Amino acid sequence: MRGNDERGQDLKAEEVLVGADGSRTGQEAADWAAQRANGRGLRLHLVRVVPAPWYYRVPAEYGKAVAGAEVLLGLERDRVAERHPTLPIGTNWHPGEPALVLSLLSVGAEIVVIGSDRSADSRGEGFGSVSFQTAVLCQSPVAVIPAPSVAGRTGVVVGIDGSVDSELALKMAADEANRMGESLTVLHAVSKVLPPAAAGSRTEPGYSRKPDPRTLISEAAGNMREKFQSLTVYEALESDDSPADVLIRAAEQASLLVIGCWGRGGLRKPIGSIAEKVLMRLPCPTIITRPAPRPAADSGTQLQLPRVTYGPTRGGTRG
C-alpha cells in the first residue's frame, strides 16, 4: 500500500492524528486538531481512509478513490495551513475500515481527533457509529467533534465515579482547562436507582470502596486546585437515573467534556455505557480517555505505513 507522502522516523510520538473525510464535521475536527497541535508544539497528521480494493467491482474504481483521497488531503492540508502557516502538517491515505485504521495509527499518538460522522435528529440523538467504533478501538485518547461549533462556549466538564479510569479523565480535564485558561467543573452523578451505599459495596477490578459522594467530589476538586493553583474548579453533585443525561446537560454550553473510557458497571467493556450514550448525543467537543497502554498481543493484523515528511510551512513537504 502506498500513501501520498514519505514517512519520517518516530512519526507518532509528537503528533495529533485526525481523520479527514471532507465533511463539515471533518473540517471542524481538523480545525480543532490543528489548534491543539499548534498550541502544544505538535505535528498534525491528516489521514484519509478509503475502502479496501476488494470493495470495488473494478480496479479502476479503487484508483479513482485513491486519487480522490489525494485531492481531498491536499485541499484540507492547504485549508488548515492557511490558518496555521507554521504548523507541520503531514498527510497520507490508507485502505480499510476507518475505525480500524485509525486505531492502528493511534498507538503512541497524543490524541486522535474525528468528527461526528452524521447529524443528530431533532432530539439531538443519532450520531453515527464510526466515531463510536473509533473511540472503542483506539489506544490513545479520542476527541469527537460535533458541528457546527457554537460561539460563547466556556469551561471544561469532567465526570468522575471513583474509578481509576475516571481519575485519568480528571487529570486530563484539569490539564486541558488549565491550558485553555478556562474553569473546570468536576461532576459526579448519583443514580436514583442505585443508592450510594450500594455503589460502595462493589469489588470490581480498578475500584476501591466508594466514599461518600460529597467526599469524592471534594477530594477530587481539591487535588486539582492544589495541582493547578490558578485554575477555577467548581463542584457539582447531581442525582439522576441516567448519569449520561447529567453529563450531557452539564456540557451543553461547555468548551469540552472529558469522560473515562470505562464507567462503573457490572462488565468491564471496552467503553462504558455512559460514554456510549454521551457519544450518541454529543453535546460539545468530547474527549474519551484511555487507560495506561498495555502490551498488545500479536493478532496478526498489521498495517504497512507509508512514509510522511512534515514540513514547517503550508502543509508540509511532499516526498
What mean pLDDT do residues 48-57 have? 93
> 71-80 burial, b if ≥16 CB within 10 A, otherwise e?
ebbeebbeeb
Residue 6, CA atoms < 13 Å, CB-side half-sphere: 7
pLDDT score, position 192 = 67
- Of 3.30.413.10, 3.40.50.620, 3.40.640.10, 3.40.50.300, which CATH number belongs to 12-145? 3.40.50.620
All residues at 6 or more sequence positions from 194 whose CB lies less than 8 Å from its CB, including other chains: none
What does the block give as the cell for 258? 472529558
Average of per-residue pLDDT values in the chain: 80
| Confidence band of 264 (pLDDT split at 50, 70, 90) | very low
105-116: pLDDT as tens digits: 998 799 999 998
Q: What is the pLDDT of residue 65?
A: 95
Give the model confidence (pLDDT) of 180-195 as tens digits: 999 999 999 876 655 5
Which helix H or strand E contains 213, and what residues bound it?
Answer: helix 213-227
- C-alpha–C-alpha distance, residues 274 and 285, integer Å: 16
User: Cell for 190?
Assistant: 448519583
pLDDT digits (tens, 9 = 90+) for 272-295: 677 888 888 889 999 999 875 445
Q: Which CATH architecture has domain 156-283?
A: 3-Layer(aba) Sandwich (3.40)
Would you say 164 and 279 are in contact if contact means Cβ atoms under 8 Å apart? no
Query: Are 12-145 and 156-283 the same fold in CATH?
Result: yes
pLDDT given for residue 71 in this prediction = 97
Average pLDDT over residues 217-240: 94
**Cell matching residue 5:** 507522502
Q: Which stretch of DSSP H or E encloses residue 89?
A: strand 89-95
* Distance of alpha carbon 96 from alpha carbon 76, whole angstroms: 21
Give the per-residue pLDDT at 116: 86
Contact 210, 199 (CB under 8 A): yes
**Domain locations in the chain?**
12-145, 156-283
| pLDDT score at 150 | 67
- Examine the pLDDT at 238 and tell me if it is beyond 50: yes
Give the per-residue pLDDT at 231.
Answer: 97
CA distance 61 to 239: 54
Are the C-beta atoms of 148 and 177 separated by less than 8 Å?
A: no
Helix or strand run (H / E) with residue 44: strand 43-50
